[in-house]
Amino acid sequence: MDAINVVHGQRLQSMADYVERHSPAPTRAPGVGNPDDNMDLIAFFTSRFFLFTFVMPIVVLVIFGQFFKTNDADTKKPEKHETLVPANKLHKKQDEKLPQPSEIVSLRIYPIKSCRGIIVNDAKLLRSGLELDRNWMFVDTSSREFQTIRQNAAMTLIKTSLNASRSDLTISIEGTTSTVTIPAKPSDSWLKANCTLTRVNIWGTETDGWAYSDAINDLFTAHFDKPVQLIYKGPEPRISTGSATPELYGEAVPHYFADLLSVQIASEASLKDLNERLASNPDADAEDLTVERFRPNIVIRGNTPWEEDSWKRVRIVNGEKHASTDLDIVSRCARCQVPNVNPDTAEKNAKEPWNSLMKFRRIDTGGVAKYKPCFGMLAIPKEDGELRLGSMLEVVETTEKHLYNTTKFEDL
């Protein structure tokens, strides 16, 4: 270190001597007409002092300037043609807050309204709902009013099944050996030859339906202990209601005999949360509730309980080809006491799960929902598609503005 200081001291002294020699004659340019001056200038410009004091800072500035220029170029937004992700897979700004995709773990259709459903591995998704879902219902022969579990819990003992090709629907009753088999997709000619087109009432609205013959209805009349008729939906469109009316949804979407509209989606995560709450409740049934009590069509595994409350649009992505179908989530599903009925026994619990749901699931202040708990979401498919067990449900949009039978879909 001392040697370095001596060298630097000598050079600084040479610099001082140089300045002193040349300062008295400012009018004479250094190095002009004096060989000694030229030698001093050469020594100065080749000295380490000059290199480290003047040259090196300039070199450093140039290098850093190139570095920041390169970074600026790297952070420039790419042109549109540089995008490698398909447009339909790009997320909006809010997507970073969206729930994670979840697997479809169950697909269910209920051919006859309020009767036992069928678990399937795949289903055609139509704008009117899942194919064969709630295409039939029972009516009181005299009043022409539709019949549900609400009035007769024993309807859960009426079972349905399909043959392998899904061309035939077989109907049976728990505890009996009698069955009825009818075409699952009856042609117009078959209906005209075997049924009678009539008028029926469902939720205060009249629509048409094909009434089956007494030869078929006798089995069900005995079970209901009153005259009833099996009805297949007629050709007259039955327009979705609730939050799916043309005034609220923006278009008229027909469906069959579901209460309000086409499709109901439920989450296993939410059902698990409910069962955990009921576990220590002395009024609840000893066994966990099954999802069939809520009669959904699509059941997902779910990530967080009740995250479905804020869905606005979801997308179902199928298989390797990534074929997808979007569904608009038009409202929450406001519940009656049907889930209190055990579908295996037709026994109705007088209190649960209704009482517990009323304590923490009265979350929608729109219309009649303000007096009811909510479980599941009601949806309308944007187009026809295919559903498969194991497909993924992705949340495309969310909203905090769901108000049952109140808010327009475009305002969500």
- Rounded to two decimals, what is the model's pTM? 0.78
Q: Which two three-digit tokens encode residue 180?
A: 């009825």
Query: Is pLDDT at 252 greater than 90 in this prediction?
Result: yes
What's the whole-number mean pLDDT along residues 86-90? 38
**Which position has the token pair 């019949």?**
147
Q: Which residues pair with 159 in a beta bridge?
A: 172
Query: Is pLDDT at 270 greater than 80 in this prediction?
Result: yes
DSSP H helical segments within 202-254, as ranges?
214-224, 246-249
What's the whole-number mean pLDDT along residues 133-153? 98
358-389 pLDDT, tens per residue?
999 999 999 999 999 999 999 999 999 999 99
pLDDT band at 60 (very low <50, low <70, confident <90, very high): low
What's the whole-number mean pLDDT along residues 94-99? 74
Q: Do 206 and 245 form a contact (C-beta atoms < 8 A)?
A: no
Q: Pick the residue with more confidence: 118 or 30?
A: 118
pLDDT band at 295 (very low <50, low <70, confident <90, very high): very high
DSSP H helical segments within 98-230, as ranges?
188-194, 214-224
pLDDT band at 46 (very low <50, low <70, confident <90, very high): low
Strands (E), 203-305: 205-212, 228-233, 238-239, 254-255, 263-267, 298-300
Query: Is pLDDT at 81 greater than 50 in this prediction?
Result: no
The predicted pLDDT at position 99 comes to 94
Q: Do 201 and 144 form a contact (C-beta atoms < 8 A)?
A: yes
Whether the bond into 254 is cis, omega within 30 of 0: no
pLDDT band at 48 (very low <50, low <70, confident <90, very high): low
The predicted pLDDT at position 95 comes to 63
Q: Which residues pair with 338 in a beta bridge?
A: none
